[in-house]
Amino acid sequence: MTRKIVYLDQNKWIALAKAAKNPDEKSEARSALEFLVGERKADRVLLPLTATNIYETHKVNNPERRFDLAYCITTLGESCVFRGRHKRLEMEVIDTVRRAYDLPLPARDANWFLSQVFYEATAEWDDLRLGPVVSEKMYEFAKGNPQEFLFRYLMETPEDIRTTAVQRFSKGMDGIRQHVEERRTRHAGEKESMRRNIQNAVLMINKIDEIQAWVSKAAVPDVSVRDILEKHARRIMNETPTYAIERELALRLEGQHNRPIQENDFRDMQSFCAVIAYSDVVVAENQFSSLARQAGLDRKYGTVITTSFTAMMETRSDTN
């Protein structure tokens, strides 16, 4: 049986945690909680998390609230996560290039984009860019005890380390926000088609070394990496889901000139880039749900994008 993949943004998880704590409360969130518990018991649904879900839970300063939320996401979500951007792009670029040359795609698990080890929502445990950060022994423990491993991380990280990590992440995000605001000002007078070309160029140039490595891994016979990129650079940007989603969301977010870009916007975008192409249903707040639908990403990837628990529950008969 194929399990439906449902992504819930952080506000939806907060609503479920509150509903779990107040079982006598009659609300849409309570109905959704009961529905999802039943679907999980029947193994009809998966509720993977993103790095944003984990970060937003970890940053909650109130221990009781953090406990309630951590318990909810590790119990109902079962610590399954969407893999990080780097790993998704590697697989997506390989597939895009091989399709361009009518080559068979590499054999891999249908849900290769999911992991049971929570930190792979950010980076693979053996990512060579990070050095020996996580031992193989620790990785195997995490795989064998995913719920305990995530829950203890969320609740038992020493307070000074937890707050420092949150502050550093926020500072890094603010630097990105300032850069994007400057770019938005520079390109304010450009047509959308030109801004799309600029976004494609920026995405390609910023990660050209990685893209060249991924193209090489596509193993196209008798064609050089340079020739592949010269011929198919635009195709890679358009048909690689993570790049295409990031570009279209950024175009629309930066086009809202009367609204300053917030730190939360980047976390939401990060999540949407991870989930839209791989989820059956995305339940999120209005801002990015609206941007994604405006960009036609729901139609392109066959994903229901909604702000409503009720709409999520009504998709059961359509997607099973």
**Integer angstrom CA distances of residue 310 from 26, 27, 37, 46, 195:** 14, 11, 15, 17, 37
> Which of these, 56, 45, 44, lies nearest to 12 by C-alpha position?
56
Only one residue has tokens 């950024």, namely 250
pTM for this structure? 0.89
The reported pLDDT for the residue numbered 280 is 96
DSSP state of 49: B
- Alpha-carbon span 275 to 66, nearest angstrom: 24
Tell me which amino acid residue 134 is.
V
The reported pLDDT for the residue numbered 320 is 42
Question: What is the chain's pLDDT, residue by residue, as a tens digit (320 residues)?
Answer: 688 999 999 999 999 999 999 888 889 999 999 999 999 999 999 999 999 999 999 999 999 999 999 999 999 988 899 999 999 999 999 999 999 999 999 999 999 999 999 989 987 766 666 655 667 787 788 888 899 999 999 999 999 998 888 888 787 777 777 777 777 777 777 787 888 888 888 888 888 999 999 999 999 999 999 999 999 999 999 999 999 999 999 888 887 767 778 878 888 889 999 999 999 999 999 999 999 999 999 999 999 999 999 999 987 544 44
Close Cβ partners of 214 (under 8 Å, ≥ 6 residues apart): 89, 90, 93, 94, 97
- Alpha-carbon span 51 to 64, nearest angstrom: 21
The reported pLDDT for the residue numbered 318 is 44
Assigned token pair, 121: 């929502």
- Alpha-carbon span 134 to 124, nearest angstrom: 10
Number of H helices, E strands in the chain: 17, 6
Tell me which amino acid residue 130 is.
L
- Alpha-carbon span 73 to 55, nearest angstrom: 12
- Alpha-carbon span 240 to 163, nearest angstrom: 35
The reported pLDDT for the residue numbered 257 is 64
Domain edges within the chain: 4-319
Assigned token pair, 312: 């999520």
Close Cβ partners of 169 (under 8 Å, ≥ 6 residues apart): 55
For helices 51-58 and 10-21, give the axis angle rounded to 10 degrees. Answer: 50
